[in-house]
Amino acid sequence: MKFIDELKSIVKGNLLENEPMSKHTTYGIGGPAMAYINPKDRFDLFNILKFSTKNEIPVYFIGTGSNLLVADNGIEGIVLTPAKSLKQLEIKKNRVVAESGVMLGKLVKECIKHNLTGLESLIGVPGTLGGALVMNAGAFGGEISNFLESVDIMTMSGEINTFSNSDIDFSYRFSSFKKDEFILLARFKLQTEVPEIINHKKLKASSGRKTNQPLRYRSAGSVFKNHKDYAAGYLIDNAGLKGTKIGDAEISTHHANFFINHGNASASDISALIRIAREAVLKKFGIELELEIRTLGFDPKELEVYV
């Protein structure tokens, strides 16, 4: 039996064969994955992981691809996401348990409804809870890890492990989860607060986002991490690169750390802009910009400076 037919025979959730990743990234960019799967539940996930290990087929975990650049040639392997199936969310008093496929926006709104404070500054950050944990998503002074108690992950052998917050290293847009750990769910302990104060913080964050970010265009948010002394957008802007275009990709004139897709940009257009920005900032400021976005299917050299 062909590998894909065998895989189809075991998967209970939704499997899309030869699926363009452009349909599953906020950039709207990316070639096909051999199979793109929303496992039905953790048993389905377990069987898929077992199958891929036995057959030595690479697997990649994603959320909604809002921090992801996928190469034009696509991905030789299976892509797994919890985005359409692992979506349970439970709030009891000040404790929240959410599966990794819950959208971060939904989690934030539900906490606000229950007068729980701590996550409201993350309002407007796209993506799933799983992606937010891996990226330690943050905005306007808050980070997803701040009120986190513990996380359950599944290993490639199907074991479920619980990590408490102190078992995981979190820092600016970094977590110590391994590439082969699938995040299943997370538990948070928040504090109660009067609605007026929570709403004030939420409105401050969402209006800041609307002012600072080119939200009308397709992007994956900030391309580079900020340097300890300078915002990456400041460095790219001061290297004279705002508005630089390759094909349909552009370094935003609104926020220089956002690279936008005007419609038909390819991954190689975005990666060319990445190299241009890295080269110009290195030449002008002697600073090496570090990618914040995650990439799939690239030879790492493609994203480095030409010289």
**Segment interacting with ligand FAD (CB under 6 A) among 15-23, 120-128, 244-252, 280-288:** 120-128
Can you list the alpha helix ranges (DSSP code H) found in the chain? Answer: 3-10, 42-54, 104-113, 129-135, 195-212, 232-238, 267-285
Write down the least CB distance from residue 199 to ligand FAD, Å: 19
In one letter, which amino acid is 173? R
**What DSSP letter does each residue of 227-285 carry, written as one string?**
PSSS-HHHHHHHTT-TT-EETTEEE-SS-TTBEEE-SS--HHHHHHHHHHHHHHHHHHH
Q: Which stretch binds ligand FAD (CB under 6 A): 45-53, 91-99, 119-127, 269-277?
A: 119-127
| Residue of this chain nearest to ligand FAD (CB atom) | 63
By CB under 6 A, what part of segment 3-62 binds ligand FAD? 26, 61-62
Check binding of 138 to ligand FAD (CB under 6 A). Answer: yes
Q: Quick one: which of 38, 66, 266, 271 contacts ligand FAD (CB under 6 A)? A: 66
Choose among 285, 280, 245: nearest CA to 265: 245
Q: For ligand FAD, which is the closer residue by CB, 12 or 284? A: 12
Active site residue 278: no
Is there binding between residue 242 and ligand FAD (CB under 6 A)? no
User: Taking a C-beta distance cutoff of 8 angstroms, is the pair 150, 165 a contact?
Assistant: yes
- Catalytic, out of 52, 121, 175, 222: 222
Note whether 139 binds ligand FAD by CB under 6 A: yes
From residue 303, alpha-carbon distances to 268, 273, 292 in Å are 9, 9, 12
Q: Is 132 in the site for ligand FAD (CB under 6 A)?
A: yes
Residue 137 touches ligand FAD, criterion: CB under 6 A:
yes
Nearer to ligand FAD, 126 or 297 (CB): 126
String of contacts with ligand FAD for each residue 72-111, x by CB under 6 A: ----------x-----------------x-----------
Which stretch in 43-51, 66-74, 112-120, 281-289 sits in contact with ligand FAD by CB under 6 A? 66-74
Question: 75-80 and 32-38: which strand pairing?
Answer: parallel
DSSP assigned state of 190: -
Q: Does residue 233 touch ligand FAD according to CB under 6 A?
A: no
Tell me the CA distances in angstroms from 41 to 25, 26, 72, 162, one per residue in order: 22, 25, 30, 18
* 292 noted as active-site residue: yes
Choice from 147, 182, 224, 259 touching ligand FAD (CB under 6 A) = 182
Catalytic residue among 19, 121, 143, 173: 173
Q: Is 208 buried (19+), middle (13-18) or exposed (0-12) by CB count in 10 A? A: middle
Q: Does residue 134 belong to the site contacting ligand FAD (CB under 6 A)?
A: yes
H or E segment to which residue 212 belongs: helix 195-212
Q: Exposed (0-12), middle (13-18) or buried (19+): which is 16, by Cβ within 10 Å?
A: middle
Host H or E run for residue 184: strand 182-189
Catalytic residues: 173, 222, 292
- Residues engaged in binding ligand FAD (CB under 6 A): 26, 61-68, 82, 100, 125-128, 130-132, 134-135, 137-139, 182-183, 213, 215, 219-221, 294
